[in-house]
């Protein structure tokens, strides 16, 4: 994206496009956290009970605005922020199409996919409300949000400035596959955690205090009711243990990914992402353990668990993208990707 490109095609959006990507990324991250607040404040059905139809979504208790009831305001704030993310995503797709379609088609298509994900996320939110916060829908809703964050990270690394240094070397095929596997495992852990959350009482009048998978293993961790991973005790225990199983897999894969990456003595960005991933992993395991060890559910602790899980997913996914990009960088260095005019194709490694 050199400033001296004659046509201006690649430089038209420039810093404005980069700022828009960062704003959209920050807004999407905030949307995930506000969604957690909605659940923990019993506001998931704040705009109307299940089966309300259009009166409950997109309307709120049959009105355009939520009124003064606290749960309705909290739920409506989540919808308002989701609408803002949708508008930002549309603007991002338009700017990417105008400025990058000739040089970075992968980035452009990723922004279009982001628009589709935002629309799907909104519709899934409506169905989730209509069907009384069904656990599977709650988990899917959270999973789509993580995928949107991943897409935005891909877009960001395609448009961020190079900073005047050469690209990172990237990883070999084995390391790139490990990065993808670790990212997938973390995503599955988050989705399974969303399912655990969906079994809880929050926001649902048909569930009592004792119902839910959160304490299906009592206050035991890493054990579960006196055993290790005792699947088959109960359906709720199986839900809880599925989340733990994905967590153990994620811990192993993320640790292996970070160690393998750091042993290669990579440049600054890859090393920082690897170290950050390990730090967030350790913090997340501690928060998860505290959520079990403490016999009373603490909403702030649960929200912290969601926050760190989201940061961990972003860190591991970004590291996987960096390792994947090294392959494209090697292709460029060999002269296979010369497009003239200084245009940088999506996926070419750039410095932090």
d(CA 96, CA 113): 12
Mean pLDDT computed over 161-189 = 78
Mean pLDDT computed over 30-37 = 96
Angle in degrees, 0-180, between the axes of helices 105-130 and 70-100, rounded to the nearest 10: 160
DSSP string computed for 275-306: HHHHHHHHHHHHHHHHHHHSSS--HHHHHHHH
Q: pLDDT tens, 331-340? A: 333 344 333 3
DSSP string computed for 168-223: P----HHHHHHHHHHHHHHHHHHHHHHHHHHTS-TT-TT--TT-SSTTTTTT-SSS
Q: Which domain holds residue 305?
A: 168-336
For residues 314 and 188, state if they share a domain: yes
pLDDT over 50 at 1, yes or no: no
Residue 1 lies in a domain: no
Q: How confident is the model at residue 15 (pLDDT cuts 50, 70, 90)?
A: confident
For residues 260 and 296, state if they share a domain: yes
pLDDT over 90 at 166, yes or no: no
The residue out of 160, 177, 204 marking a domain boundary is 160
For residues 156 and 172, state if they share a domain: no
Q: pLDDT tens, 304-348? A: 999 999 999 999 999 999 988 654 443 333 344 333 334 443 333
For residues 184 and 309, state if they share a domain: yes
For residues 88 and 129, state if they share a domain: yes
pLDDT confidence of residue 351: 34
For residues 174 and 313, state if they share a domain: yes
Residue 342 lies in a domain: no
What backbone torsions phi and psi does residue 212 show, to the nearest 5 degrees? 140, 160
pLDDT over 50 at 303, yes or no: yes
315: helix, strand or coil: helix
d(CA 22, CA 19): 5
Residue 343 lies in a domain: no
Residue 352 lies in a domain: no
Mean pLDDT computed over 251-267 = 91
Cβ atoms 21, 152 nearer than 8 A? yes
Q: pLDDT tens, 205-236? A: 555 555 689 999 999 999 999 899 999 999 99
Tokens matching residue 222: 């890493």
Residue 236 lies in a domain: yes
Residue 346 lies in a domain: no
State how many domains the chain has. 2
Residue 268 lies in a domain: yes
Closest C-alpha among 163, 144, 127, 142 to residue 51: 127
Cβ atoms 254, 182 nearer than 8 A? yes
For residues 83 and 174, state if they share a domain: no
The residue out of 104, 125, 160 marking a domain boundary is 160
The residue out of 160, 181, 214 marking a domain boundary is 160
pLDDT confidence of residue 162: 61
Q: pLDDT tens, 91-130? A: 999 999 998 888 888 999 999 999 999 999 999 999 999 9
Average pLDDT, the chain: 85
Cβ atoms 34, 81 nearer than 8 A? yes
Mean pLDDT computed over 231-251 = 96
Lowest mean pLDDT among 55-69, 235-249, 295-309, 335-349: 335-349
pLDDT over 50 at 2, yes or no: no
Residue 221 lies in a domain: yes
- Give the bridge partners for 60, in sequence order: 63
For residues 327 and 222, state if they share a domain: yes
pLDDT over 90 at 84, yes or no: yes
For residues 190 and 133, state if they share a domain: no
For residues 49 and 116, state if they share a domain: yes
pLDDT confidence of residue 331: 34
For residues 155 and 222, state if they share a domain: no
For residues 123 and 250, state if they share a domain: no
């Amino acid at each position: 994206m050199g400033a001296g490109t004659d046509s201006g095609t690649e430089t038209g959006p420039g810093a404005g496009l980069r700022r828009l990507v960062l704003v959209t990324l920050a807004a999407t991250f905030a949307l995930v956290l506000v969604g957690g607040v909605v659940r923990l404040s019993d506001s998931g059905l704040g705009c109307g009970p299940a089966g309300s139809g259009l009166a409950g979504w997109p309307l709120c208790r049959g009105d355009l605005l939520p009124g003064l009831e606290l749960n309705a305001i909290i739920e409506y704030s989540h919808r308002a922020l989701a609408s803002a993310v949708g508008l930002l995503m549309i603007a991002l797709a338009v700017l990417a199409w105008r400025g990058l379609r000739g040089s970075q088609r992968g980035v452009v298509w990723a922004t279009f996919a982001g628009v589709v994900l935002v629309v799907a996320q909104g519709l899934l939110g409506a169905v989730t409300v209509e069907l009384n916060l069904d656990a599977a829908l709650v988990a899917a809703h959270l999973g789509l949000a993580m995928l949107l964050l991943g897409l935005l990270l891909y877009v960001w690394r395609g448009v961020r400035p190079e900073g005047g240094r050469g690209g990172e070397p990237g990883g070999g095929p084995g390391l790139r596959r490990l990065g993808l596997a670790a990212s997938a495992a973390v995503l599955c852990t988050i989705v399974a955690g969303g399912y655990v959350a969906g079994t809880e009482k929050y926001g649902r009048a048909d569930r009592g205090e004792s119902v839910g998978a959160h304490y299906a293993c009592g206050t035991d961790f890493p054990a579960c009711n006196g055993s290790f991973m005792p699947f088959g005790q109960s359906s709720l225990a199986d839900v809880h243990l599925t989340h733990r199983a994905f967590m153990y897999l994620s811990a192993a894969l993320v640790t292996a990914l970070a160690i393998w990456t750091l042993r290669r003595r990579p440049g600054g960005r890859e090393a920082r992402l690897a170290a950050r991933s390990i730090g967030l992993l350790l913090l997340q395991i501690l928060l998860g353990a505290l959520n079990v060890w403490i016999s009373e559910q603490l909403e702030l602790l649960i929200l912290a668990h969601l926050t760190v899980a989201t940061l961990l997913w972003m860190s591991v996914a970004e590291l996987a993208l960096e390792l994947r990009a090294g392959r494209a960088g090697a292709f460029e260095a060999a002269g296979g990707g010369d497009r003239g005019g200084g245009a940088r194709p999506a996926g070419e490694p750039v410095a932090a």
